Structures are given as C-alpha cells and as structure tokens.
C-alpha cells in the first residue's frame, strides 16, 4: 500500500472526554478539512478516562480528507495545578507563592510526561517540572533546585 500524502499537521488542546465542535476547536478543524463531528466523537471516546483534564492532540490530515490523531498527556502546568490544588498560577511568581507540591508529586508528573519530554533521567525531567512549577509561583518541597 502506498503512503498517504499528508496535507497538514496541527496541534490543538481540548478537555478530555468533553470536547465540543464549538469554537475554538470546530473552526480549527474545519479550516484544515477535518470533519469536526467525526473528530470530536473519536477524540471524546479515546480521552474519556481523562475526564475534563486539558490534553494536547496532534492531528495529521491526509489528501483524501482522512485524518489520524495522537493524544498527548496534559501540559505540565495543568498537572502541577492539579497536584497543588490551585485554580491558576501566580501573576507575580517570584514574590507571590500560590501553592506547594512535594518532590514525590514532581516525580509522578515527570514520569507521566516521560514520553514527551527530553532528558537523560527522571531526575533531569523532575528539574524541568520544578522549573515550570517555580515559574507558576508553586514551591517544590524537598528538592534543592536553584
């Protein structure tokens, strides 16, 4: 079988299991020639276990108007907010601290995102997650990161 010709590849973020064809998702899909109803049905079915958590998705559209998509894990910031139990990060992260996570929670987040992150070890990825947490005004307890 010959390889299908790719016409476009793009990324979206949507709530797992709860996506709708309303803006901004529907118009983005339509602009690339993807049937929004068909995509939303498949996306919601595949992401049902992530109920409501924002997840990334890479969509590949082919010349015959078929598509494939790969569901990524939620962004690090979303996982940090869940672990810290906060609504949003700090507007002034260096002075206003809005939450705390432990080194164990940081390790769990790094292990969840291991497929999508670069780093030679889990410790290196933990430092990356800790840096993201710091930039959100979240303190990581039990890690000596400067």
Give the per-residue pLDDT at 146: 47
Least Cα distance to 45 among 6, 85, 16 occurs for 16
Give the per-residue pLDDT at 116: 82
Instruction: Write the DSSP assignment of 108-124 as a string of letters.
Output: HHHHHTTTT---SSHHH
Going along the chain from its start, the domains and CATH numbers come out as 6-71 (3.30.1550.10), 76-141 (1.10.10.250)
- The structure's pTM equals 0.74
Let me know how long the chain is.
146
Instruction: Write the DSSP assignment of 31-99 as a string of letters.
Output: HTT--HHHHHHHHHHHHGGGTT-EEEEEEEEETTS-EEEEEPPPPHHHHHHHHHT-SS--SSTTT---E
What are the per-10-residue average pLDDT scores of the chain (146 residues)?
A: 77 85 84 86 86 86 87 86 84 84 88 83 87 88 66
């Amino acid at each position: 079988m010959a390889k299908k010709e790719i016409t476009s590849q793009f990324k979206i973020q949507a709530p797992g299991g709860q996506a709708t064809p309303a803006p901004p998702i529907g118009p983005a899909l339509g602009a690339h020639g993807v049937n929004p109803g068909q995509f939303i049905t498949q996306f919601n079915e595949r992401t049902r276990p992530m109920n409501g958590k924002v997840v990334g998705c890479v969509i590949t559209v082919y010349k015959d108007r078929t598509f494939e998509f790969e569901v990524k894990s939620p962004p690090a910031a979303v996982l940090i907010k869940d672990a810290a139990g906060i609504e949003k990060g700090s507007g002034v992260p260096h002075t206003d601290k809005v939450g705390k996570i432990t080194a164990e929670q940081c390790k769990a987040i790094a292990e969840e995102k291991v497929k999508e992150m670069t780093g030679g070890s889990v410790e290196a990825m933990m430092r990356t997650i800790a840096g993201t947490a710091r930039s959100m005004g979240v303190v990581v307890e039990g890690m000596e990161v400067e």
